[in-house]
Chain A
Amino acid sequence: EPEVTQTPSHQVTQMGQEVILRCVPISNHLYFYWYRQILGQKVEFLVSFYNNEISEKSEIFDDQFSVERPDGSNFTLKIRSTKLEDSAMYFCASSGRGGWETQYFGPGTRLLVL
């Protein structure tokens, strides 16, 4: 069964460093998403992406964040200058035709900022 994959599974970085989290969505899906979950807190929406542009973003998704689909298979989340509070599990998701369909989540990348 097709699944969303994410790399790396864990990443440790120093405050102020740039990180890129990578995702490979399900191949025939058109909508892509990033969520994060700070330890012990709710899963929070960051951004949705369709047709090579951001379709919606939350207030969390400020200028430090960016997303890109550099080729036909990868979807990336970049954090330009990491802060301690960026430490969280980051989930990528994809769906076929939009938010009204089931979103399929990847296993997540656990980011720790020191």
Chain B
Amino acid sequence: KQEVTQIPAALSVPEGENLVLNCSFTDSAIYNLQWFRQDPGKGLTSLLLIQSSQREQTSGRLNASLDKSSGRSTLYIAASQPGDSATYLCASAGYSSASKIIFGSGTRLSIRP
């Protein structure tokens, strides 16, 4: 059974810093891995989706990497801004059930002005 873990649970950094959020998963037979952003009391916004055949995806200041052999993914945020403050969730879809996304518990990020 897939387990997705995110460390740290919370992170506070000053504005302008580059930062890395970590995600690990127990079953490497994933179809894809997706990073979401969740603002308080809101829905989930998809940031990046990495297919199992890919190593990374980039969108603006965000870069997500995937290493299936080690069961890890990272989300790199460059030049952080206060507007980046949110909870970041990673989620994996497995080959056996690609429609069922398994979520991590998230990293709550706070960017200090």
Contacts and interface: CB of A to CB of B under 8 A. Distances in A.
Contacts of A104: 46
A93 B97 CA distance: 16
Interface string A16-57: 000000000000000101010000011111001010000110
B45 A45 contact: no
Interface stretch (B11-19, B65-73, B100-108): B100-108
Contact of A43 (B41, B93, B98, B103): B103
A58 B100 contact: yes
B29 to A, nearest CB: 14
Residue among B36, B97, B100 with the highest chain A CB neighbour number at 10 A? B100
Contacts of B75: none
A50 B100 CA distance: 13
A91 B42 CA distance: 10
Contacts, number: 61
A55 B97 CA distance: 9
Which of the four size classes fits the interface of chain A? 20 to 34
Interface of A: 4, 31, 33, 35, 41-45, 48, 50, 55-56, 58, 91, 93, 98-108, 110
B46 A108 contact: no
